[in-house]
Amino acid sequence: MDPSSSGIQEPFDLIRLSLSERVFVKLRGDRELSGILHAYDGHMNLILSDVEETIMIVDEEGQGAVNIAKRKMNMLFVRGDGVILVSPPSRT
């Protein structure tokens, strides 16, 4: 019952193994977060600290030129339904 080398049985194991680590989170609406993962639940609601948010603002008229806005938050709750993906720090 161990399909891969990593010992991950279900997708949430990946998140569980990332607790207290810095994770990369991609959200709907061209938002990205990087922060320390403190808690999560089955909806993928997240608590992150020491967060940097990156917002990509694509200018459709200017041939898709991208403006990037950044901001920082100390402590953040993320509602799960906005989450597209979570990537833990590389385990290699």
Q: Which residues bind other proteins (CB under 8 A)?
A: 3-4, 6, 8-15, 24, 44, 80-81, 83-92
Tokens at residue 71, please? 């901001």
Residue closer to other proteins, measured from CB, 7 or 74:
7
User: Token pair for residue 59?
Assistant: 């200018």
User: Residue 27 or residue 76: which is nearer to other proteins going by CB?
Assistant: 27
Nearest-angstrom CA–CA distance, 53 and 61: 25
Amino acid at 11: P
Least spacing, CB of residue 56 vs other proteins, in Å: 11
Pick 74 or 92: Cβ nearer other proteins: 92
Closest approach, Cβ 59 to other proteins, in A, equals 17
Q: Give the span between the Cα atoms of 47 and 41, in whole angstroms.
A: 10
Q: What are phi and psi of 80, to 5 degrees?
A: -60, -30
Question: Least distance (Å) from other proteins to the CB of residue 75?
Answer: 21
Rounded distance between C-alpha atoms, residue 53 and residue 73, angstroms: 8
Question: What is the nearest approach in angstroms of other proteins to the Cβ of residue 50?
Answer: 20
